[in-house]
Amino acid sequence: MLDIVKANLPALQVVVPLVAAPICAMLGRGGRAWGFATFISFLTFAISVSLFSATYAGQPISYEMGGWAPPIGIEYRIDGLNAFVLMIVSGVAALVMPYARRSVAVEIPAERQAFFYTAFLLCLTGLLGVTITGDAFNVFVFLEISSLSTYALVASGAWRNKRALTAAYNYLIMGTVGATFFVIGIGMLYMITGTLNMADLAMRIAEHGDSRTLRMGFVFIFVGIGLKLAMFPLHLWLPNAYSFAPSAVTSFIAATATKVAVYVLLRFMFTIFGFDYAFQASTLENVLLPVAIVAMFAASLVAIFQDDLKRMLAYSSIAQIGYMLLGLAFLTPTGLVATIVHLFNHAVTKGALFMVAGCFVLSAGTSSISSLRGIGRDMPWTTAAFVAGGLSLIGLPLTVGFISKWYLVQASLELGWWPVALLIMASSLLAVIYVWRVVEAAYLQPAPEGVTRREAPLSMLVPAWILVGLSIWFGIDATLTTTAASRAADTLIGSSQILWQE
């Protein structure tokens, strides 16, 4: 029995939350749906931890869906990179679920909570599926499962603020345009190669060589995924979606959805198109590099002028995605490590910060910074968590943010691009300003009179502090994350250099 489970772990990773979702919808009102969904999220986390430890030695796992051998059948392929991303996604889900109970209780009407958790599990299924699959079209299907449930989850913020509806609508329009671009791109690749399996695609593209169809396919995929991951000029859906979604949803999707999209970009660029593909390299240098740098500055500047805490953090997310894309644009092993390490580091930091924002919403009823005056005295633990997370966002030593920036600066200096290194540090200073605005309001300004705000409940504080703790722990001892990230980078480079020789 145990052997069967063990042999089918890759399938179970996706099937468990998928099957659990409709069951969750049938559990009705009360805490049962929540308890069940939490149990499932712990189970998926356990599965991804065991998959991660199985691939830690460097041997990828290939699983044939339904016993059909690739490239005909759908293959689930787990290597160093996606095992790492799987663990981030399911780990954040396992922390957000305990957090969600109290937060959802005030934000969603009781009779709709079961459906809320159903959508949450479907979103988790989609994100895990995108990450684990080795089939290009399968990526599209899972991407849409996760996106459609995210639209519903964002819209469920409408019970608190009706603007969640228009935020979800705009996200839906842009997300669908992105997904359709992506599927056109896959169609072009299929036209050239006649296959959808990623490893097979890579091999056949290498044999096929350069062509206009290939270039168009690459551009469609690049722009489509760019929309999904909120690459700078395509980020317009993100601020509203993050600000008006329920707090638990924001901390989950902010920590995972864009990270998974970055993973898809990495996978397509490096495993499928190969590392030395000249057109791709010039796109990275001439398009992605400026876009990433502009994102770092423009989004941070806009964040400074936001009055709403969630909205400010949302703009900060766009800037942080800029850092990830910057690491990618360097096109060096160190840059790649920086991107992958930052995937984890930003997931931990932003997850914690959005959880803190959710605590403020629960106690103060709002997340506007001006109404958070003097809240440091009323909610010391929550505010302290914000400060610790904020320091990591800035990139102070002894936090994970520092590790990411260290690798980014190192990668830019390796190339001799010292202006870029200076820009990375300058943009961190902008983060100091927007984090400071909140700290100033929370600690230095007097509380408005006649307002009592109670400290957030433990079920919300503990998950937030676990994430904060992780962001400090891996800031002091980054061996585990950086080893995992450099292994992941090695797999990507290793799988692509053999493919493309000019």
Partner 1 sequence: MPEIILDLDFVLGHYNYWMFVILMMTGLYVTVSRGNLIKKIVGLNLFQTSVFMLYISMGKIVGGTAPILTGDPDTVYSNPLPHVLILTAIVVGIATTALALALVIRIRETYGTVEEDDILKMEHEMDFGVRKPDGGSR
**Cβ-based neighbours of 473, under 8 Å, separated by 6 or more:** none
In whole angstroms, the minimum distance from the beta carbon of 183 to partner 1 comes to 6
Contact yes or no for 18/149 (Cβ under 8 A): no
Restricting to residues 450-469, name those near partner 1 by CB under 8 A.
none
Which of 139/329 has CB closer to partner 1? 139
Restricting to residues 401-430, name those near partner 1 by CB under 8 A.
none
Which of 154/318 has CB closer to partner 1? 154
In whole angstroms, the minimum distance from the beta carbon of 368 to partner 1 comes to 11
Restricting to residues 162-191, name those near partner 1 by CB under 8 A.
162-163, 165-166, 168-169, 172-173, 176-177, 179-180, 183-184, 187, 190-191
Contact yes or no for 338/331 (Cβ under 8 A): no
User: Helices (DSSP H) in 210-246: which residue ranges?
Assistant: 212-228, 238-244
Which of 169/473 has CB closer to partner 1? 169
Q: State yes or no: residue 211 binds partner 1 (CB under 8 A).
A: no
SS3 sequence, 446-499? CCCCCCCCCCCCHHHHHHHHHHHHHHHHHHHCCHHHHHHHHHHHHHHHHHHHCC
Contact yes or no for 398/392 (Cβ under 8 A): no
Helices 479-497, 198-208: axis angle to 10 degrees equals 40
Give the number of other CB atoms < 10 A from CB of residue 112. 13
Which of 150/258 has CB closer to partner 1? 150
Selected from 15, 25, 54, 141, the binder of partner 1 by CB under 8 A is 141
Stretch that binds partner 1, among 78-86, 151-159, 297-305, 331-339 (CB under 8 A): 151-159
Restricting to residues 27-56, name those near partner 1 by CB under 8 A.
none
Stretch that binds partner 1, among 102-110, 133-141, 335-343, 453-461 (CB under 8 A): 133-141
The dihedral over CA atoms of 11, 121, 142, 135, expressed in degrees to the nearest 10, equals -20
Q: How many residues bind partner 1 (CB under 8 A)?
A: 26
Q: In this structure, what token pair is assigned to residue 366?
A: 């709002």
Q: What is the DSSP code string of 329-346?
A: HH-SHHHHHHHHHHHHHH
Q: State yes or no: residue 214 binds partner 1 (CB under 8 A).
A: no
Q: Which residues bind partner 1 (CB under 8 A)?
A: 137, 140-141, 144, 148, 151-152, 155, 158, 162-163, 165-166, 168-169, 172-173, 176-177, 179-180, 183-184, 187, 190-191
